[in-house]
Amino acid sequence: MSRSFAFASVFVVCAALTACWADPVEQDRYGGDIRMFDRSEDAQREADQIMADHCGDGNYEIDGWDTVVVDVRETPQGYEDVTELHLYFSCLVPTSPR
């Protein structure tokens, strides 16, 4: 299964089950990486909840945003990058390992 198909499948499942605007990609005791489906208020609110659940209320800061190339697809005009928007965050005080 291609990565772009998997991404589309996750988005469809999230949209069907809940207002899934943000999805944790990787987390450790120091912070993490969240895939954002857009930059809407709903997406930011959901990302804030993910960060608070992981680090604790008020115990996180956003390190930055990045557009990540996750796949390449062929189009009639050539090849095109498939990208995702990612938010990177840090826990101000590292969390206990789970």
Q: Could you tell me if 46 and 22 are in contact, meaning their C-beta atoms sit under 8 angstroms apart?
A: yes
Q: Quick count: other Cβ atoms within 10 Å of Cβ 76?
A: 4
Name, of 20-29, 36-45, 59-68, the range with top average pLDDT.
Answer: 59-68
Q: Quick count: other Cβ atoms within 10 Å of Cβ 56?
A: 13
The model's pTM: 0.73
pLDDT of residue 19 exceeding 50: yes
